[in-house]
Structure 1
Amino acid sequence: MSKLTTDPRPSHEKNAEITMAIPEKGIARDAILSELRALKQDDFDWRGGRLPSYTYYLDEKTLDLQRDAYGEYISENALGAGRAFKSLEIMTNDIKAMSKSLFHAPAGAGASFTSGGTESVFMAVKTARDRARYERGEPHGRYRIVSCVTAHPCLDKAAQLLDVDVIRTPHDTEFRADADLMRAAIDERTIMLYVSAPNFPFGTFDPISKIGALAEETMLWLHVDACWGGFLSPFAERLGYPVPLWDFRVPGVTSLSADIHKFGYAAKGASIIIYRSSEIQQFETFSFSGWPRGTYVTPTFLGTKAGGAVAAAWAVMRNLGMEGYLRAARETMEATTKLVAGLNAIPEIKCLTPNGESNLVTFVANDPALDIYAVADRLEAKGWFRGRMRDPKGIQQGVNPAHLPVVQDYLKAVREAVAFVKAEAIRDTAYDERSY
């Protein structure tokens, strides 16, 4: 990977925090674009499979369609969908319908288009909270959500903003939620059970059928976080991979979130939140009339929304179709399988969950003398950006079709990194806890 040795900007612009200001005279378009391209040279090569997440790349054809569709709606604001921009309402409704069909939502299900998984989860928590406040007659009631420790941190972000408490229970030996421990954590203030399909640290599915039965028994809201795998798992299942039931086919599932801008290959930000019943959505909507302008209503958290994100998601979903998504899933899961097999063939390391359920891989040191973070450092120095696990200490990554052509290159880099760290007896004392 090419790395810039110097910042391409003029010296007076390098310390942007201190010196950057809007220029008195505008800079020419070509100069700006040239500067952008120069700046990007210092980024990791996501097209070449060097990133474990952040980007979800299928091919240039799909990327070009993203750009073109987004560009057609780069100025339109989806806040005005249905009034100023009727086309955005049509596309949004199409996206909802396609998603509900994919996830086996029943007739009468409701849905909203959001900017990403964090907003989708936020809306699930907000809607569950407001419904509970209404049903319990507690306008300011404070409640609890029970999840596994592996639940994505966006749950706690939403809960913190909404004055809800999250109770995280330990995972079992297979890195899944333990339904019995979740049951034991339920009390009279609990309003929601939260499960992952799959969880991000380990790539395993929580026992959603079992927890769905618990949700029905206790009459609690059950949210399924499928933000990572929602647009991969249905296709991996069709290809014969051992994906457990996780969507609305499971009785007890109340809501489900899935990111279209991950393995739906839409432009960011595009996600979907689906509710088993559209009646629930009365508690999702924000409405305010206490100002001179009139009633202001939004279905989700954001006001202004990028029309381009709606258009790109609509275009890509229809362009790829089931055939295209099956191809993408086949390449992704083939790359994952080859990666796991190759990593497990290196004696000093081992993968934690080579179960074929998802495209998330975590590997740890099999040799106590090997510092796995030092291996990650060496890989990054060679151009392979790595995600790092804290508990247990390991290297974690997601897999997408861009990784399939470079699996052997990456395995060679891992073998070299392991040998280098062992030979130099390197210990890495610094740890960057950022996992996303």
Structure 2
Amino acid sequence: MKLPEKGLAWPEIEARLNDAKKDDFSWREGRMAVYYYYLDDELAEVQKRAYAAFWTENSLGKRAFPSLAKLENDVIDFGLALMNAPEDAAGTFTSGGSESIFLAVQTARDWARATKGIERPNFVVPRTAHPAFSRAGHALGIDVRRVPTTRNDFKADVGAIASRIDDNTIGLVGSAPCYPFGVFDPIRELGALAQSRGLWLHVDACVGGFLSPYVKRLGHAVPDWDFSVPGVMSLSADLHKHGMAAKGASLMMLRAKELKEKHQTFDFREWERGPYVAWTMQGTRPGGAIAAAWATLNYLGDEGYLRCARMIMDNKKALIDGIGRIPGLAVLEPSELSIFVTRSADPALDIGAVSDAMGTRGWLIGRQVEPPGIHMHLNPSHERMVGDYLGDLAWAVGQARQGGARPREAGSTY
């Protein structure tokens, strides 16, 4: 891009921005399996106005903007209460799940270094754990050991994990639920293992943290996964997923404030400006993301979150029932929350070819690699696409059987 000699007026800028988006997939019509979480235009407008009200404020400057400190503390307090944290728990507002996971792994590392003297640490995690754990390990000098899950239900194999623990192991991970299959790892068993070995247990609830409590209230079976489970030391949960907040919002929570004060806090004084204290990987932190999250919580309220959970689970049932009526397709079981995988139940049907055919109808398909399938992560707005999706999916199966779509190797979009 070359800068214009003179700045453009907003109408021209707006037109160019809209033109740039012309080839994007339509999230408003629910044609994307990943990347977005949406309820309706009314909530979106609340988020935009709240973000704009704090668009220039910097949450690094809590002395300058005590309003942001209060809003952030309100959001953290809500998350801690929802996830049954003890009274002395603490939390941090982060930019997303990857940063929440990074901070949890870093805090565990520094805790183990201070309390155990471990200098070459490792984490033992299920293979289904999010890539952010390996990314954090790469940056922090931690060996992240991935262990295959159980064959029948894709959950963490506690015995296999126990066998990989050694004197340098500092922590374990469980997902609630995992992203590839939408199933909950056995958090109670992992908590007991962590306690018996003196290890840190992090629960990755980036997907389910703000959804599971409401799904459980609707009567669906949800296993124990939060701070009510002994041994859980930290927990990540994304506000910008099923917390329905604007992007750039997640929480990393710790069982005790002492852990945050002693092992998470970055307190730097070796320069001319004096103390620099931070709890995240960011310096400048956008106040708009905090304000939009606070506004979302207050706009939706308890009833609103329950309504979102009901919409998601109703959408899931309608989709799964419809997929079951399409010859050659089946839904991979188990599936316990908002994620499920559609697989080929016919050796002659290439699910990759089905995905290709769906792409020609304007659907952004999440491609599952192991086993090959179509990955779907539902949010409330998918309600509007159920009929169209099932109709196009049946058509895509026909196209794949006729060779109308060229098979290709499946690859994840995330």
Same fold (TM over 0.5): yes
Deviation at 1:313, TM superposition (A): 0.3
Identity %: 47
State whether structure 2 residue 52 is matched by structure 1 residue 71: yes
Partner of residue 149, structure 2: 171
The residue aligned with 1:238 is: 217
| Counterpart AA for 1:335 | N
Per the alignment, residue 162 of structure 1 pairs with 140
The 5-angstrom pairing of residues 142-153 of structure 1 reads 142-153=120-131
Q: What TM-score does the superposition give when structure 2 sets the normalisation length?
A: 0.97
CA shift for structure 1 position 186:
0.7
1:412 Cα offset (Å): 0.7
> How far does residue 80 in structure 1 lie from its aligned partner after superposition?
0.8
Query: In the alignment, which of 15, 20, 43 is matched to residue 34 of structure 1?
Result: 15
- Cα deviation for residue 22 of structure 1 reads 2.0
How many residue pairs get aligned? The number is 412
Aligned to 1:22: 3
Q: Which residue does the alignment assign to 1:210?
A: 189
Contact 2:357 2:405 in 1 (8 A): no
SS in 1 for 2:232: coil
Paired residues of 1:371 and 1:427 also in contact (CA < 8 A): no
Matches within 5 A, 1:343-422: 343-355=323-335, 357-422=336-401
Identify the residue that residue 113 of structure 1 maps to in structure 2. 93
Q: What secondary structure does 2:60 align onto?
A: helix
* Residue aligned with 2:178, SS: coil
User: What code does the residue aligned with 1:143 have?
Assistant: P
Contact 1:56/1:262 (8 A) holds in 2 = yes
> Tell me, which stretches of 5 or more residues in structure 1 are unaligned?
1-19
How far apart, in 2, do the equivalents of 1:317 and 1:426 lie?
A: 44
Offset, 1:39: 2.1
* Alignment CA distance shift 1:29-1:425 (3 Å): closer
Report what 1:194 is aligned to: 173
Equivalent residue in structure 2 for 1:254, among 233, 236, 247 = 233
Asked whether the 8 Å contact 1:204–1:353 carries over to 2, the reply is no
Pair 1:123-2:103 in alignment? yes
Correspondent of 1:54 among 31, 35, 47: 35
> 1:13 maps to which residue?
none
What CA distance in whole angstroms lies between the structure 2 residues aligned with 1:314 and 1:193? 31
* Cα distance in structure 2, aligned partners of 1:204 and 1:132: 29
| 1:279 lines up with 2:268 in the alignment | no
CA drift of 1:41 comes to 2.5
| Aligned 1:313-332 pairs, distance under 5 A | 313-332=293-312
Structure 1 residue ranges (4+ consecutive) displaced by more than 3 angstroms after TM superposition: none
Q: Distance in 2 between matches of 1:294 and 1:155?
A: 33
Distance 2:81 2:20 in 1: 42
Change in Cα spacing, 1:426 to 1:60, as seen in structure 2 (3 Å) is closer
After superposition, give the CA deviation of every residue in 1:350-404 in whole Å (9 maximum; x if it has no partner): 111254x201011111111211111111111101111111111111010011111
Q: Which residue identity does 2:125 align to in structure 1?
A: S
- Structure 2 gaps of 5+ residues are none
Alpha-carbon contact 1:371-1:426 (below 8 Å) kept: no
Offset of residue 426 of structure 1? 4.4
Measured on the aligned residues, the alpha-carbon RMSD in Å equals 1.2
Indicate the SS of the match to 1:44. coil
Give SS of 1:174's match. coil
Contact 1:52–1:387 (Cα < 8 Å) also in 2? yes
